[in-house]
Structure 1
Amino acid sequence: MKRINAAELCSLDTKKVLLLDIRSREEFELKGLEGSVNVPFDEISTGLSKLPKDKPVYVLCRTGDLSEEIAEILEDRGYEVCNIDGGYAAYVAFLAGTEL
């Protein structure tokens, strides 16, 4: 499975990839990344079937652990997928200049 870090996340073109945020709806509404789609982890069983397969899916969670699990499931289903190492926490740390 492909992986990227927070710096690479910042350079993604969300018109060419699907950025899947699996954090809770509340977290997403407070601090969602522009261009991302929210399918909370607890809704994954029904939400994954709605994801298009025509572009790579980059999966983001709070810390990178749950997103790795979901990325593996997507990969098994034939998606081109990438996990974002460190998740949203790494993204925030990168923006603050204190990379994890």
Structure 2
Amino acid sequence: MKEITAKELAEKVKKGEEVNIIDVREDDEVAAGKIPGARHIRLGDIPDSFDKLNKNEHYYMVCRSGGRSGKACEILKSEGFDVTNMTGGMLAWEDEVEVEG
């Protein structure tokens, strides 16, 4: 499975690169904050969302700590999608990215 750190993904966002970020956390978790521009699709809804995603695009998967997004990567990869898991999830994003401001 391809992986990227929160810092590396933040750099791509900061540089203005077009990144497709999918946050697979539950509604209440996302309500507390998410990466700007991230799309919210709960992990349980991923199998019903294949038709809303483009196999020609690359997706970065995010959750709270990296576990659920890893599962989402496995599901999407098995269907032919190009995906990368953000290691450490939003906990790493909050620690490594938001602190820098």
For this structure pair, what is the TM-score category when the shorter chain's length is used for normalisation? 0.7 to 0.9
Q: Is the 8 A contact 1:24 1:40 kept in 2?
A: yes
List gaps (5 residues or longer) in structure 1: none
**Cα distance, 1:15 vs structure 2:** 5.8
List gaps (5 residues or longer) in structure 2: none
TM-score normalised by length of structure 1: 0.84
TM-score normalised by length of structure 2: 0.83
Name the SS of the counterpart of 2:35 in structure 1: coil
Aligned length: 97
- How has the CA–CA distance of structure 1 residues 15 and 7 changed in structure 2, closer, same or farther, with 3 Å as cutoff? closer
Distance in 2 between the 1:16 and 1:55 partners? 10
Distance in 1 between the 2:46 and 2:32 partners? 20
Provide runs of 4+ in structure 1 moved above 3 Å.
none
Distance in 2 between the 1:50 and 1:94 partners? 31
Aligned position for 1:30 = 32
Q: Is the 8 A contact 1:63 1:90 kept in 2?
A: yes
Instruction: Name the aligned partner's letter for residue 27 of structure 1.
Output: E
Root mean square deviation of aligned Cα? 1.8
Q: Is the 8 A contact 2:47 2:75 kept in 1?
A: no
